[in-house]
Amino acid sequence: MLTISLITVVYNRAATIERAIRSVLQQTYPHIEYIVVDGASTDGTLEILQRYRHRINTLVSEPDEGIYDALNKGIRLATGDVVGILHADDAFADERVLAEVAERFEQDPAPDCLYGDVGFVQEQQPHRIVRYFSSSIFHRGLFRYGIMPAHPTFFCYRKYFEKHGFYRTDLEIAADFDLLLRFLKTHQLRSAYLARMLVIMNMGGKSTRGINSTIKINREIKQVLKEHKIPSSYLHLYARYFIKVQEFWRKRTSAIRG
């Protein structure tokens, strides 16, 4: 059975980190290498991490140069077959997520990477989905519109990070877009879509904090597309927000377990 190296990066998230950790520890899949990279938190996060130290395979706490630098640290520390990410504000949808991820990797035809759906919640109401993004809509042609699969649900064989590169640290918000574009379009990794909600995310992430973040991420995405010689325009990029509006209307029947 393959080992999944799961990476959580965190900085001053004492309010949410325990939920993330517990959702990992509750997974039924036994072959998990859990790596936590803390950016030298000062708000009590590290004390929470120490309470779970015996269940965390590798814990690093030191200053870093941002989230993508921290993710790269975690990936380089990983020894498992497949790498996945669970951010400090997120949680797995239920205890079977990693078991189903591993099962899909072992099916024929076996993918190089996979992704699924993500549900968004308000931090004050973690059991009520207010927005739902389904990666089922994704195809490679959508990159020119700035549309990618749900990055928090992305699992990939570790060897492809070593072969095709890690997250760029010169991008502040769009390094996940750049990495998925490189893996899925430039290098044509075989991907699979797992038709279910894998991750629950808090609203208000770094890329969605108001108009300034919106402008910045679209600038960075356009830069990435230009570097990869993919024709696009700001008209293409801003058109995707019509799809995002629909995510609030989509009705879901999936239960979130507390």
pLDDT score for 194:
97
Tens digits of per-residue pLDDT, 203-220?
865 544 557 888 899 999
Mean pLDDT along residues 159-173: 97
Stated pTM of the model: 0.91
Is pLDDT at 254 greater than 50 in this prediction? no
Mean pLDDT along residues 95-122: 96
**Where does the pLDDT of residue 4 fall: very low under 50, low under 70, confident under 90, or very high at 90 and above?**
very high
pLDDT score for 255:
38
Mean pLDDT along residues 40-62: 97
64 vs 243, higher pLDDT: 64
Please, is 248 exposed, middle or buried when counting C-beta atoms within 10 Å of its C-beta (0-12, 13-18, 19+)? exposed
Tens digits of per-residue pLDDT, 54-98?
999 999 999 999 999 999 999 999 999 999 999 999 999 999 999
